[in-house]
Amino acid sequence: MGDQEEIQLTQHYDIDVLIAGAGPTGSALAVDLLRRGLRVRLVDKAPHAFQGSRAKGVQPRTQEVLEDFGVLEEAQSEGSSYPLAGFHIGPLTVPWRMQQQNKPTANDPYPNILLLAQHRTDTILHRLLKRLGLIIEFNNGLEQFEQDADGVTVTLSSGEKVRSRYLVGADGGSSIVRKGAGIRFIGETTDSDRTLIIDGSIDKLSRNRWHMWPRTRGTFVGACPLPHSDQFQVMIRLAPDEKPNLDEAALAAQFHKLTGLRLYNITWSSVFRPNVRLAEHYRSGRVFIAGDAAHVHTPAGAQGLNTGIQDAYNLGWKIGQVTAGAPDSLLDSYEAERQPIAARVLSKSSELYASLDKNRLASLKRGDEERQLRLSYHGGPLASSEESATKTLHVGDRAPDAPCNGPGGERRLFDIYQGPHFTLLAFGPNAAKILPKLNWPTSGAELHCYVVGTAHKSDQNVLHDSSGKLTHIYGITSDTLVMIRPDGYIGSIITTDWQATFDNVARMLAPALHRSQFELKLMRENEC
């Protein structure tokens, strides 16, 4: 054992990861780290969980993340589909579809956006954290921190000092973590462009429309019904020189003046200013930022919350692997993969918001790009553009769902992928034969291996593809190994040089095998 390894073993850590910010991003990261067996604390300077509707659209890709966490059914039961828009033009209310309605398919089981108030999304994740044994520490924010080569020492507002391997700032657009790490937040905030956002009840307004008054006294007014409540999320665009008054009576009077309707029982209100900013870096040593701390958007397109949760989903498994001994360079891939995604999302949401500002109906249309199902890491550090591909997939693409028969009868690939492990699918007899010769470490995330076949077998690790849909969806035309990362993206497609290519992938993604282990086969159940 070398000197550096001995130093690492003598380091004292109170926990593995301290997360600042208990919103959707921080909560999702805590969930992912806990299921990997890491020691986590989640702190938040607020006295309690967020109580407003703010980010209310859960995109299809984020729904797949929630399914992996085992809470999608809760989200679906507490949310709803988006209603038709209803444009109030004089005495008429003209219906119009903003969100395209797609039918579920074998590869895209959740094709439509889910309407779910942010406080409900938070609550669902917080309930899950409680089931996992973590109590969120509200009213205990991060005050300052110092990092060195081996860890981060954080001072909390309670006065406690905590030593952790890593610190993650999911603490919003004014992130203390980002500022403390000296990371620049590049972009602009338009102070003259402001919108009131209000949660409240409205007398005599139907709940089957997202109501819009596009040109009411020179401003825009909207009211979207929030599922399983009598409340609406109300939006009132302010004039450049207008001073907002968040007093409940003043808000109700303003809404009545613009629409003639009574707004009451207001439970939350805020003034929104369109921020468009992107952090110059997502990592500084052992400190990371995610969600609004790394990127802030206009509200158009319902992208911010979703991009933040997917930041967490990308970072969680990488921290888990590096903590178990994988190369530190794996953590550099977090910024390399997620920052370009945020940049594209910022550009799209800004484009939609600019069109909305010009009262263009097209700005209200939502399509494939907003659903985030086609986002890819192809061409990034873990998904070289020179690697093999199938007819339908490249390395770095989202791994689609597909039907199959396997352990327990009729299954879906998403059932097989669910959990914190890697998955290896072997298509064809030659690919199946190589499985026993492949080595994977016993530390870190497990590797679950399956042979995809057309002939029915009762083997625990065989997926029966009698319909051929799985093979078709994955574009398989020859013997192929397909590795799926824990975050549901294609980690490798191997068609030749099976052993050498697999070993190269393992060296990037997994803890190193000891020399003696290269001689051994992994015999554990569900592993190669």
Residue 328, class by beta-carbon neighbours within 10 Å (0-12 exposed, 13-18 middle, 19+ buried)? Answer: exposed
Separation of alpha carbons 28 and 50, rounded Å:
15
Separation of alpha carbons 267 and 226, rounded Å:
13
Closest by CA to 423, choosing from 398, 444, 396, 450, is 450
Separation of alpha carbons 398 and 413, rounded Å:
12
* Contact call for residues 65 and 314 (beta carbons, < 8 A): no
Helix (H) or strand (E) holding 18: strand 15-20
**Residues 324/327/331/334 CA torsion (nearest 10 deg):** -110
Q: Which residue carries 């089957």 as its tokens?
A: 208
Q: Are strands 15-20 and 161-169 parallel, antiparallel or unpaired?
A: parallel
**Residues 437/442/446/449 CA torsion (nearest 10 deg):** 20
425 DSSP β-pair partners: 450, 482
The pLDDT assigned to 519 comes to 35
DSSP string, 397-408: SB----EEEETT
The pLDDT assigned to 158 comes to 97
* Contact call for residues 507 and 441 (beta carbons, < 8 A): no
Closest by CA to 222, choosing from 115, 354, 85, 357, is 85
**Where on the phi/psi map is residue 469: left (φ > 0), alpha (ψ -120 to 50), or beta?**
alpha
The pLDDT assigned to 448 comes to 97
Helix (H) or strand (E) holding 198: strand 195-202
328: phi then psi, degrees, rounded to nearest 5: -60, -25
Separation of alpha carbons 396 and 306, rounded Å:
19
The pLDDT assigned to 194 comes to 86
What Å distances lie between residue 275 and 168, 194, 195, 329, 374, CA to CA?
22, 10, 12, 31, 25
448 DSSP β-pair partners: 423
Look up residue 456 and give its DSSP letter.
-
Evaluate if pTM is beyond 0.85: yes
For the chain, the C-alpha Rg in angstroms (whole number) is: 25
DSSP string, 132-146: TT---EET--EEEEE
- What pLDDT tens digit does each residue of the chain (528 aa) get? 444 444 444 478 999 999 999 999 999 999 999 999 999 999 999 999 999 999 999 999 999 999 999 999 999 999 999 999 999 988 888 888 877 789 999 999 999 999 999 999 999 999 999 999 999 999 999 999 999 999 999 999 999 999 999 999 999 999 999 999 999 999 887 777 789 999 999 999 999 999 999 877 668 899 999 999 999 999 999 988 889 999 999 999 999 999 999 999 999 999 988 778 899 999 999 999 999 999 987 665 557 799 999 999 999 999 999 999 999 999 999 999 999 998 888 776 556 555 555 454 444 444 455 677 889 999 999 998 888 899 999 999 999 999 999 877 899 999 999 999 999 999 999 999 999 999 999 999 999 999 998 655 556 789 999 899 999 999 999 999 999 999 999 999 999 999 999 999 999 999 987 433 433 333 333 334
Helix (H) or strand (E) holding 74: helix 72-78
* Contact call for residues 324 and 37 (beta carbons, < 8 A): no
* Contact call for residues 47 and 144 (beta carbons, < 8 A): no
Exposure b/e, 4-20, CB count within 10 A at least 16 = b: eeeeeeeeebbbbbbbb
Contacts (Cβ under 8 Å, ≥6 apart) of 90? none
Separation of alpha carbons 189 and 173, rounded Å:
11
The pLDDT assigned to 526 comes to 37
Strand order in the sheet with 462-464: 409-412, 403-406, 462-464, 447-453, 422-427, 480-484, 490-494
388: phi then psi, degrees, rounded to nearest 5: -60, 155
Separation of alpha carbons 225 and 209, rounded Å:
7
**Residues 267/27/368/424 CA torsion (nearest 10 deg):** -160
Q: Tokens for 411?
A: 């299954």
Which runs of E-coded beta strand occur in 372-446? 403-406, 409-412, 422-427
The pLDDT assigned to 387 comes to 86
Closest by CA to 59, choosing from 276, 301, 347, 334, is 301
Indicate the SS3 state at residue 484.
Answer: strand
